[in-house]
């Protein structure tokens, strides 16, 4: 597991090096964040959809032998599953729920605290109802306060009210974290996307190379989980990251995934035993 952050290098310059790394891999696990990675960030969270090229690239990867695909999102599992088809595995609520092999596992601590999250979301709905365009997304195991479309002058009010409500009614069991123009309310214990990625990777054959692509703070724990043996790719931003590589946007994610699809198929074909020939 990588412990340090540094400036990721532009991925485009490193494709030959990546090709060599992939050629040495026994298999490939491709884990993908959703918002800001497969889908461009938009004002209305309900309107977020993957770009067409990302949708096609994910479908191609999912159908390629030797490649396992997973989507690892902060959204609720039921929500993100409806937004992108193909992957064998989905993790929702930042890894608190995991769907694979035909069953869904929910972290037991998160399950116990779900009623409290639900109550906090209801209280916040009322407490923030007078703030224009403020939106509460109740994801059952976590809740999100959206302020992307809130007038800038009202942002401090959103923060003050959210912290006040969580301090008063959340107790020690709940914490607030941040994301892109959101406040996330979730159970206060150390579990994140990195833990989910470790669980997913543990099911893959040894010497599988793990790729993780994400754009936000909660993706950093996943980069730490896969690096340095795996490949972390940060989407956007300018600051340091635990990912080794950076791409600029979901458009560049699609270019990389398309390349990965053709490279993966080529490498899988190279691993096939030669076809028998007639004498």
Ligand X SMILES: O=P(O)(O)OC[C@H]1O[C@H](O[C@H]2O[C@H](CO)[C@@H](O)[C@H](O)[C@H]2O)[C@H](O)[C@@H](O)[C@@H]1O
Mind telling me the catalytic residues? Answer: 33
Report the nearest approach of ligand X to the CB of residue 216 (Å).
5
Among 67, 121, 182, 243, binds ligand X (CB under 6 A): 182
CB of 42 to ligand X, least distance (A): 4
* Ramachandran bin of 270, using left for φ above 0, alpha for ψ from -120 to 50, beta for the remaining angles: alpha
**Contact between 170 and ligand X (CB under 6 A)?**
no
Instruction: Assess 48 for contact with ligand X (CB under 6 A).
Output: yes
Nearer of residues 193 and 231 to ligand X, judged by Cβ? 193
Produce one character per residue of 26-42: b if its CB has 16 or more CB atoms within 10 Å, e if not: ebbbbbbbbbbbbbebe
Strands 245-247 and 9-10, how do they pair? Answer: parallel
Q: Tell me which stretch binds ligand X (CB under 6 A): 19-27, 69-77, 196-204, 263-271.
A: 69-77
Q: Which candidate, 52, 53, 49, 56, places its Cα nearest to that of 34?
A: 49
Question: Considering the rule CB under 6 A, would residue 180 count as an interface residue with ligand X?
Answer: yes
The single-letter DSSP state of residue 30 is E
Among 26, 42, 104, 207, binds ligand X (CB under 6 A): 42
Six-digit token string for 80: 């993100």
For the CB of residue 147, give the shortest distance to ligand X in the complex, in Å: 8
Q: Is residue 36 a contact residue for ligand X (CB under 6 A)?
A: yes
Q: Does 41 bind ligand X (CB under 6 A)?
A: yes
Residue 35 beta carbon to ligand X: minimum distance, rounded to whole angstroms: 3
- Rounded to 10 deg, the angle between the 250-271 and 52-62 helix axes is 20
Contact status, residue 68 vs residue 90, Cβ threshold 8 Å: no
Q: At 209, list the tokens.
A: 């190379």
Query: Between 15 and 188, whose beta carbon lies closer to ligand X?
Result: 188
Closest-CA residue to 210 (of 17, 30, 66, 13): 30
Site residues (vs ligand X, CB under 6 A): 33-36, 41-43, 45, 48, 73-75, 137, 144, 146, 148, 179-182, 184, 216, 218
């Amino acid at each position: 597991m990588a412990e340090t952050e540094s400036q990721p290098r532009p991925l485009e310059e490193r494709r030959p090096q990546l090709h060599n790394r992939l050629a040495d891999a026994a298999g490939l696990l491709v884990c993908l964040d959703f918002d800001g990675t497969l889908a461009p960030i938009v004002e209305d969270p309900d309107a977020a959809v993957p770009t067409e090229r990302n949708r096609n690239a994910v479908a191609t990867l999912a159908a390629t032998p030797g490649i396992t695909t997973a989507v690892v999102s902060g959204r609720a599992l039921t929500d993100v599953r409806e937004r992108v088809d193909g992957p064998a595995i989905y993790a929702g609520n930042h890894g608190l729920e995991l769907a694979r092999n035909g069953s869904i596992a929910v972290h037991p601590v998160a399950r116990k605290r779900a009623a409290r999250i639900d109550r906090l979301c209801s209280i916040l709905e009322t407490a923030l109802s007078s703030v224009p365009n403020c939106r509460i997304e109740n994801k059952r195991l976590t809740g999100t306060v959206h302020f992307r479309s809130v007038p800038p002058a009202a942002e401090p009010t959103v923060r003050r009210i959210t912290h006040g409500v969580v301090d008063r009614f959340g107790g020690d069991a709940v914490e607030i974290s941040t994301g892109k123009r959101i406040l996330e309310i979730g159970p206060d214990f150390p579990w994140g996307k990195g833990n989910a990625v470790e669980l997913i990777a543990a099911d893959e054959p040894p010497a599988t190379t793990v790729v993780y692509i994400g754009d936000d703070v909660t993706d950093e724990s996943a980069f730490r989980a896969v690096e340095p043996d795996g490949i972390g790719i940060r989407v956007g931003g300018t600051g340091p990251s635990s990912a080794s590589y950076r791409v600029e946007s979901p458009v560049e994610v699609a270019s990389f995934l398309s390349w990965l699809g053709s490279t993966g198929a080529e490498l899988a074909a190279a691993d096939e035993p030669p076809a028998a020939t007639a004498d």
